[in-house]
């Protein structure tokens, strides 16, 4: 059996729906698992969804899960769980082949070619690029970016659950549990950079050079999209297997599309169609807060707090559940309140800039503004600080 999974938090649920529907259109017998690093939405009912199963990240048997989760940002966590999930799912007796697809992907043609090739190969990856660039801007945008973020785009991988496929899954999973961070200066970019090593470690690896796989703004200038009289989409001479809509929500993806494919009519058509698909699947509905984005008292967890906790083994031992503010002395939250000024050197500048931006002119005057800011930061009252500023602005 072929098992497909994707990894999300609640805010990406509409994208995951579009992905699952597009896969089921061509492969209704493939089993689709939604991996959720969050709490399920209150009204979530699997019977009304295009998924066959929902798997929560806290069900993956990751040791010290709460401590481990706290060390990751939202993007880091959604990528870090991909490896342990593959290991977890590969143990199922009926699962012979496994595939991961990012939630912001849509399938446009059959993927049977890939499933058949996993009879001959044990692992399949797609490079970001198949063609060298010709000008400096494109080299910076694409080639240098691939050197920083990884040769292969891990919005997709496929593997057997036996032989080298299983060895790859287990190796990748072990690395992601310990080292899945966005830390380019240290040679890491979440789950991707690790797979630069895969061709050296695993002989039975298929590097897919079919231009229809994993088309995106970083390679679309070399893969012109077109539509046949029968309505079949192509990338170059190959059927468009799936398109990766990276940067859709932020608008960055469309900006890059306008730069590298301004006259590709079909590319713009599928981009607009994807937007309509998302709206149909609930894109405009408000999503609730990410459950691992705050302490249990509602205070947002800063990037600095995660970084310090991640790098301090003594803090992990002292605060095995860093989200818990009901622990003695308010747990790690209390420790961070007392100590964050030693580490958050840029916070005063950030808050002062925000204040001055919102309150230009003589409408409000605080003599010792820096002192006020320090008091709020020292007591971890980020949310309260923002509320007070908002109230003052309304006045």
- Tokens found for residue 12: 């990406």
Last residue of a domain, one of 209, 242, 273: 209
Check residue 376 and give its pLDDT: 52
Last residue of a domain, one of 209, 238, 269: 209
Check residue 365 and give its pLDDT: 42
Q: Are residues 82 and 205 in the same domain?
A: yes
Q: Is residue 23 part of a domain?
A: yes
Q: Are residues 321 and 181 in the same domain?
A: no
User: Can you say how many angstroms the Cα of residue 238 is from the centroid of all Cα atoms in its chain?
Assistant: 28
Check residue 203 and give its pLDDT: 96
Select from 91, 118, 317, 325 the least CA-distant residue to 208: 118
Check residue 366 and give its pLDDT: 45
Check residue 51 and give its pLDDT: 98
Q: Largest Cα–Cα distance of the chain, in whole Å?
A: 73
Check residue 370 and give its pLDDT: 53
Burial (CB count <10 Å: 0-12, 13-18, 19+), residue 67: buried
Q: Are residues 173 and 304 in the same domain?
A: no
**pTM (2 d.p.):** 0.86
Q: Is residue 280 part of a domain?
A: no
Burial (CB count <10 Å: 0-12, 13-18, 19+), residue 119: exposed
Check residue 288 and give its pLDDT: 78
Check residue 389 and give its pLDDT: 55
Q: Is residue 256 part of a domain?
A: no
Q: Is residue 126 part of a domain?
A: yes
Check residue 340 and give its pLDDT: 84
β pairing state of 123-125 and 205-207: parallel
Check residue 346 and give its pLDDT: 45
The tens-digit pLDDT sequence of the chain (395 residues) is 999 999 999 999 999 999 999 999 999 999 999 999 999 998 899 999 999 999 999 999 999 999 999 999 999 999 999 999 999 999 999 999 999 999 999 999 999 999 999 999 999 999 999 999 999 999 999 999 999 999 999 999 999 999 999 999 999 999 999 999 999 999 999 999 999 999 999 999 999 999 999 999 999 999 999 999 999 999 999 999 999 999 999 999 999 999 999 999 999 999 999 999 999 999 998 877 899 999 999 999 999 999 999 999 999 999 999 999 999 999 999 999 999 877 764 444 444 444 444 444 433 444 445 555 555 544 444 445 555 555 554 44
Q: Are residues 182 and 35 in the same domain?
A: yes
Last residue of a domain, one of 209, 241, 273: 209
Q: Is residue 170 part of a domain?
A: yes
β pairing state of 2-8 and 31-36: parallel
Q: What is the count of structural domains for the chain?
A: 2
Q: Are residues 177 and 317 in the same domain?
A: no
Select from 171, 179, 4, 28 the least CA-distant residue to 97: 4
Q: Is residue 247 part of a domain?
A: no
Select from 8, 2, 56, 5 the least CA-distant residue to 32: 5
Q: Are residues 158 and 10 in the same domain?
A: yes
Q: Pseudo-torsion of CA 152, 155, 158, 161, nearest 10°?
A: 110
Q: Is residue 38 part of a domain?
A: yes
Q: Is residue 257 part of a domain?
A: no
Contacts of 215 by beta carbon, 8 Å cutoff, 6+ apart: 223, 225, 235, 240, 242, 243, 244
> Domain containing 112: what range?
2-209
Q: Are residues 188 and 330 in the same domain?
A: no
The CATH number of the domain where 190 resides is what?
Answer: 3.90.550.10
Q: Are residues 155 and 303 in the same domain?
A: no
Q: Are the CB atoms for 87 and 173 separated by under 8 Å?
A: yes
Taking only Cα atoms into account, the Rg of the chain, rounded to an integer number of angstroms, comes to 23
Q: How many CB atoms lie under 10 A from the CB of residue 319?
A: 22
| Burial annotation 223-238 (CB, 10 A radius, 16+ → b, else e) | bbbeeeeeeebbbbeb
């Amino acid at each position: 059996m072929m098992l497909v999974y994707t990894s999300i938090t609640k805010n990406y649920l509409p994208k995951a729906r579009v992905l699952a529907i597009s896969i089921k259109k061509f492969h209704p017998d493939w089993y689709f698992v939604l991996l959720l690093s969050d709490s399920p939405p209150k009204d979530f009912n699997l019977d009304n969804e295009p998924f066959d199963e929902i798997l929560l990240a806290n069900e993956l048997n990751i040791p010290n899960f709460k401590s481990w989760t706290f060390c990751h940002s939202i993007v880091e966590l959604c990528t870090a769980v991909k490896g342990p999930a593959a290991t977890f799912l590969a143990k199922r007796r009926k699962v012979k082949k496994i595939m991961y697809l990012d939630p912001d992907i849509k399938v446009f043609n059959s993927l049977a070619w890939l499933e058949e090739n996993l009879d001959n190969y044990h692992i399949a990856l797609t490079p970001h690029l198949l063609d060298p660039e010709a000008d400096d801007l494109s080299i910076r945008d694409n080639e240098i970016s691939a050197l920083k973020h990884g040769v292969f785009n891990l919005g997709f991988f496929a593997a057997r659950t036996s032989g080298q496929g299983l060895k790859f899954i287990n190796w990748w999973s072990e690395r992601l549990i310990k080292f899945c961070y966005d830390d380019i200066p240290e040679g890491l970019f979440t789950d991707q950079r690790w797979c630069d090593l895969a061709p050296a470690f695993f002989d039975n690896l298929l590097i897919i050079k079919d231009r229809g796989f994993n088309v995106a703004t970083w390679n679309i200038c070399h893969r012109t999209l077109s539509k046949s009289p029968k309505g079949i989409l192509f990338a170059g001479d190959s059927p468009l297997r799936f398109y990766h809509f990276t940067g859709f929500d932020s608008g960055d993806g469309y900006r890059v599309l306008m730069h590298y494919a301004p006259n590709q009519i079909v590319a713009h058509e599928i981009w607009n169609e994807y937007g309509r698909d998302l709206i149909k699947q609930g894109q405009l509905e408000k999503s609730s807060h990410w459950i691992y984005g705050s302490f249990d008292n509602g205070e947002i967890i800063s990037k600095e707090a995660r970084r310090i906790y991640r790098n301090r083994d003594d803090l992990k031992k002292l605060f095995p559940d860093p989200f818990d503010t009901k622990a003695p002395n308010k747990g790690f939250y209390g420790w961070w309140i007392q100590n964050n000024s030693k580490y958050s050197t840029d916070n005063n500048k950030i808050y002062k800039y925000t204040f001055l931006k919102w309150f230009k002119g003589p409408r409000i005057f605080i003599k010792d503004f820096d002192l006020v800011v320090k008091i709020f930061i020292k007591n971890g009252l980020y949310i309260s600080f923002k509320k007070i500023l908002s109230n003052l602005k309304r006045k």
